Amino acid sequence: MTTIRNHDQPQAGYKNLPADKACGHTTHIDTLLHSNPNLWRGVDMAGQGCHGHSTGFPQLDNILPGRGWPHKGLMEIITPHWGMGELQLLIPLMRSIVEQGQWILWISPPYLLYAPALIQAGINTDQVLLVKLDTSCKDALWSMEKALQTENCGLVLAWQNWLPNKVLRRLQLAADVGNTLGVLFKHHDSEHSPSLMRLKIGDSLPSEGQFNESEVTLIKARGNFRPLTARVNFYQQT
């Protein structure tokens, strides 16, 4: 015997939800999706989600997936030469890290740290560790990997121009294990880098007669495959 089912009636075990509850359920799912930085979706994720750590620069947040820096992993900041604002870009992040009681490790910075400037920016230098420029590459990389694996270290900054992808993958894995963010400063971009985010800082641009703004280009980010550029005033925080 064939049973004819009335499709206008709900099937056993199901019920029709009111429109407002159905929409609320969908919104809840969207919130979960947007808060997962490991979920890749084939759509433009610039300025979407809320899982990022705000950069302190709204223009930059607007082009980053999660609206901010990743909480862990390896990212690269590329500049033609040092001193183009790459450290100024990270001042709000460094301030947040020390406020949480975590350490910041600097590996082979090209210039001496100027402690009074860091203190003025609100960064407690007692929570800053330094691996000097004359340290061998092997020892510097060992220090970086160990620091990335340590949860008490919230941020690792390293100036290393030429690192093979095999080494970058090891550092990325170490950062995931230690729930730590590592930043590599480089002069040259590597198209096939396994880092989860790559940014490039351009030359300063004139703004109201002063050269305070620079172009920051998002070359690559997990969950976002379209390069985007923002004009950022590195000194708006001060």
Identify whether 105 is part of a domain: yes
Distances, alpha carbon 48 to alpha carbons 23, 36, 42, 132, 223, in Å: 19, 11, 13, 38, 10
Sign of CA dihedral 175, 180, 181, 184: negative
Is it the case that residue 42 has pLDDT exceeding 70?
Answer: no
Average confidence (pLDDT) over 5-26: 44
Strands of the chain (E only): list them.
73-78, 103-107, 128-131, 153-159, 181-186, 197-207, 210-221, 228-233
Q: Which whole number is the average pLDDT over 68-89?
A: 93
DSSP 178-204: HT-EEEEEESS--TT---SEEEEEEEE
- Per-residue model confidence (pLDDT) at position 44: 46
Instruction: Specify the number of domains making up the chain.
Output: 1
Name the packing angle between helices 137-148 and 165-178 (round to 10°). Answer: 30
Task: Report pLDDT for 223.
Answer: 67
Residue 97 lies in a domain: yes
Residue 155: which region, alpha, beta or left (left: phi > 0; alpha: psi -120 to 50)?
A: beta
The reply to whether 238 falls in a domain is: no
pLDDT of residue 24: 47
Least Cα distance to 64 among 230, 188, 184, 211 occurs for: 230
* 80 in a structural domain: yes
134-146, pLDDT tens digit by residue? 999 899 999 999 9
Task: Taking residues 31-54, report their average pLDDT.
Answer: 56
Residue given tokens 């705000």 in the structure block: 54
H-helix segments, 74-227: 91-99, 115-120, 137-148, 165-178
Residue 33 reports pLDDT greater than 70: no
Q: How confident is the model at residue 227 (pLDDT cuts 50, 70, 90)?
A: confident
Q: Which residues fall within 8 angstroms of residue 181, CB to CB, at 6 or more apart? A: 69, 70, 71, 72, 73, 75, 93, 154, 155, 156, 175
- Per the CB < 8 A criterion, the answer to whether 131 and 105 are in contact is yes
Answer yes or no: is pLDDT of 215 > 60: yes
What number is the average pLDDT over the span 155-176? 93
Distance CA 170, CA 197 (A): 16
CATH number for position 157: 3.40.50.300
Mean pLDDT of the chain: 81
Q: Please, which residues have CB within 8 angstroms of residue 129's CB and are 6 or more apart in sequence?
A: 103, 104, 105, 106, 147
Report if residue 14 sits inside a domain.
no
Structural domain contains residue 171: yes
Higher pLDDT, 158 or 12: 158
Place of tokens 């350490």: 103
Cross-strand pairs, 31: none
Rounded distance, CA 24 to CA 95, Å? 37
- What pLDDT does residue 108 have? 94
- Whether 78 is in a domain gets the answer yes
Three-state SS at 231:
strand
> What residues make up the domain containing 174?
22-233
Which is more confident, 164 or 2? 164
Q: Is residue 74 part of a domain?
A: yes
Greater model confidence, 238 or 193: 193
